[in-house]
Structure 1
Amino acid sequence: VNEIIERNSFIKIIARNIENQVNLENPDKIIRFDILGNFTGISFLKKEDILKIPNKYNPD
């Protein structure tokens, strides 16, 4: 059975299992979860690993 998990609740659950201090505004490392149905992918990334493509909604 799939269950809807609220984003902030999910972040708090994950963060309490990480021993280091968590900084959501300026992280040294990023743990990315991609959830699709019953499948979950987990990536451990550095800021420079993230590719941002500017568009009309996100011009940065």
Structure 2
Amino acid sequence: MSKAAVRRALPHAMLIVNHLHIVQLAGRAIAEVAAKRSPPGVRRRAALLPATPNGNYASG
């Protein structure tokens, strides 16, 4: 939903940006592009690690 749409629907609402999720989405987008540009059969380390319940990768 865009900022303008929120302003029209809820003109007195305070808009809050959660920077953690913005960075997380950017990281996922970069990883997706990197995976598409990698040669077939090449796997990045993060793809080999198990995901934790919150969607992050476990350290290893």
TM-score, normalisation: structure 1: 0.26
Which protein shows a greater Rg? 2
TM-score, normalisation: structure 2: 0.26
More helix per residue: 1 or 2? 2
More strand per residue: 1 or 2? 1
Comparing both chains, which one has the higher relative contact order based on Cα–Cα distances under 8 Å and sequence gaps of 6 or more? 1
